[in-house]
């Protein structure tokens, strides 16, 4: 979830969106697990896969996330996702790995972003993206390169 500088109401709207998304799943240690990475200049794995085992505690934690300032560095967020959140010692064998990207700032697809997106796709991660273009600048062609094609 992109956390570069934005108005407080925009940040709250992003948190509400993530909470609404999470509410659609059976969050439990043996079913769906969810992580949240907040990123700006550098990413933070604010909510890890093994942290919350039910929807109520997860939604409460999402509501407490704080905005961090800086530029948007999606490449480093995807790198953190691959190396820590979806690390082989964390994910369940055979689990479907899905990554949702919500961003309001994506100016270009640099080498790190392209490389990390390809690394995740080669791991079998399905990635989808949401661009919030009213707030910031999102190069949607770049986001389309990062995510899996719509079917």
- Interval 10-26: pLDDT, tens: 888 889 999 999 999 99
pLDDT for position 127:
93
34: left (phi over 0), alpha (psi -120 to 50) or beta: beta
Residue 1 lies in a domain: no
Residue 25 lies in a domain: yes
Q: Which range marks the domain in which residue 139 is found?
A: 8-146
Residue 3 lies in a domain: no
Tokens representing 44 are: 């933070």
pLDDT for position 105:
83
Residue 151 lies in a domain: no
- 49, 61 contact by CB (below 8 A): no
Residue 70 lies in a domain: yes
Residue 55 lies in a domain: yes
Q: What is the domain-level CATH number for residue 32?
A: 3.40.50.410
Residue 127 lies in a domain: yes
Domain count, the chain: 1
């Amino acid at each position: 979830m992109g956390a570069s500088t934005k108005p407080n109401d925009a940040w709250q709207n992003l948190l509400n969106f993530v909470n609404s998304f999470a509410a659609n799943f059976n969050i439990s240690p043996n079913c769906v697990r969810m992580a949240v990475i907040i990123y700006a200049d550098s990413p933070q794995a604010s909510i890890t896969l093994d942290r919350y085992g039910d929807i109520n505690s997860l939604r409460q934690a999402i509501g407490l996330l704080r905005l961090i300032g800086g530029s948007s560095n999606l490449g480093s967020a995807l790198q953190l996702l691959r190396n820590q959140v979806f690390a082989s010692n964390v994910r369940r064998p055979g689990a479907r790995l899905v990554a949702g990207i919500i961003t309001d700032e994506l100016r270009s697809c640099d080498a790190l972003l392209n490389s990390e997106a390809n690394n995740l796709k080669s791991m079998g991660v399905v990635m989808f993206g949401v661009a919030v273009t009213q707030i910031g600048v999102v190069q949607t062609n770049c986001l389309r390169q990062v995510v899996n094609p719509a079917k």
